[in-house]
Amino acid sequence: MGKLTLTICLIFFIFFNDAACLTPRYSAIVMDANSGAVLEQEGADKICHPASLVKIVTLYMIFEALKTGQLRIHTQIPVSAHAARQAPCKLGLRAGEYVSVETIIKGLITKSANDASAAIAEYLGGSESNFAAQMTRKAKSLGARSTVFKNASGLPNPYQVTTARDMAILSRALYLHFPRDYRYFRMQAFRHRGQIHRNHNHLLGKVPGLDGIKTGYVAASGFNLAASAVRKGPDNRPKRLIAVVLGGANRHWRDQRVAELLEVNFQRVGLGHQPSVKEEDEEDGDDFEVNQFLREETNRQRASKALIRPIPISWPSSSSKSSNQAEADEEQWGVQFGTYSSLNEAKLRAKKMLTTFKTGEISTPKVAKGKKSFYGARLLGLTKQQAKTVCRKYASKNGECRILAID
């Protein structure tokens, strides 16, 4: 009887803890990158899913392998069938081809390429699962004690968990241990096979001093962002802050919240609204021309516009192109089939759509409209073409649906 009771308790413990993580939970932290001191926090130790913030440690492992000589920047990495079939976002790597370490680094940072993540994981770890175990050990050795990795990309896995505090610790470690390699995070885009892939970190070039680090999204995590910014202090030395937000309701709210956290905490130390500081050894890298073009384009578009604004794209619409359409083309996509007064109704609709279209990932976020709350029925994690196809088929029989740009 004792063993049976213990087994039942264990099952309930796993179920309820896992169920809690499946609902995005907001948490945030701001850390001084130099001292490690926590300047502000809210629920910083809540267990949540990291999504593509996993790639912070994937990149740490790459930079470490470069430092030890296990890798060279131009080492050619083979692409397996497993790597090639990873879900978007991806570079479109083909099984049997080879890709350089530098291309993988740039692909992870800008495109958040899951195929590139899997390829380097297999090369360094023998398999992606072995590499994920190595990542977990590395994270714990750096002080991220609540973090467990199950893959190198951040694609959905119920047992892949972290906290805002851990992600700040890992972001800080990456910067402190590899300051020269950290320059890659400043890239607003890079060119691969003639195509320009834009960075999913939309705060680059918009928040003074912000120069990295990583976005993330899956339905279970909500919208995540670890960001770092540097400004010159009263002692004429650069002062760097790291802000992490997990479980944001949408991309724009997440970005705005990170921008606010950084600005407020810079103001507290007398560095509000300071210009960017270019630190020693920072370079623009091989994609200087691409990034310069994007900076100029961003400056033109930003004239008299707010820091963050939504991308209104819906179907059917004769004017679905926006000034940010080119940027949106590089992001993950989703479809919303309407809003419902009850969570159960939204879940039933989303499940029916998943059964009908057999693609995507269910999400039923709470949406406030005035004093009332509704629940959206969504399929997320689609490519642009999948989202358009799904919406077209749905709209032909059921009326209007909405395409969502996410990252």
235-266: pLDDT as tens digits: 788 899 999 999 998 899 999 999 999 999 99
- pLDDT above 90 covers a percentage of the chain that reads 52
pLDDT digits (tens, 9 = 90+) for 267-290: 998 887 665 555 544 444 444 444
pTM equals 0.71
Do residues 162 and 144 make contact, with C-beta atoms less than 8 angstroms apart? yes
357 and 261 belong to one structural domain: no
Q: Looking at residue 329, which CATH number applies to its domain?
A: 3.30.70.1070
371 and 231 belong to one structural domain: no
Q: In the annotation, is 111 catalytic?
A: no
- List the catalytic residue out of 55, 90, 111, 138: 55
Summarize the confidence of residues 106-113 as an average pLDDT.
95
Q: In the annotation, is 322 catalytic?
A: no
Q: Is the pLDDT assigned to residue 58 strictly greater than 50? A: yes
217 and 340 belong to one structural domain: no
User: Is residue 396 included in any domain, yes or no?
Assistant: yes
pLDDT of residue 283: 45
User: Is residue 10 included in any domain, yes or no?
Assistant: no
Q: Which of 152-161, 208-217, 368-377 has the lowest mean pLDDT?
A: 368-377
User: Is residue 246 included in any domain, yes or no?
Assistant: yes
Summarize the confidence of residues 91-98 as an average pLDDT.
95
User: Is residue 1 included in any domain, yes or no?
Assistant: no
pLDDT of residue 369: 62
Higher-scoring residue by pLDDT: 359, 195: 195
- List the catalytic residue out of 27, 52, 221, 228: 52
pLDDT of residue 329: 39
Q: Looking at residue 270, which CATH number applies to its domain?
A: 3.40.710.10
239 and 364 belong to one structural domain: no
360 and 402 belong to one structural domain: yes
- pLDDT above 70 covers a percentage of the chain that reads 77
pLDDT digits (tens, 9 = 90+) for 339-384: 888 888 888 888 888 888 877 778 887 766 666 778 888 888 788 8
298 and 337 belong to one structural domain: no
156 and 241 belong to one structural domain: yes
User: Is residue 78 included in any domain, yes or no?
Assistant: yes
Domain count, the chain: 2
Q: Which two tokens stand for residue 386?
A: 């999948």
396 and 284 belong to one structural domain: no
270 and 344 belong to one structural domain: no
Q: In the annotation, is 52 catalytic?
A: yes
User: Is residue 231 included in any domain, yes or no?
Assistant: yes
| Boundaries of domain holding 101 | 23-302
Task: Report angle CA 231, 242, 303 to the nearest 5 degrees.
Answer: 60
Q: Residues of 354-392 as b/e, b for ≥16 C-beta within 10 angstroms?
A: eeebebbbbbbbebeeeeeebbbbbbbbbbbebbbebbe
- List the catalytic residue out of 27, 46, 80, 112: 112
212 and 342 belong to one structural domain: no
161 and 287 belong to one structural domain: yes
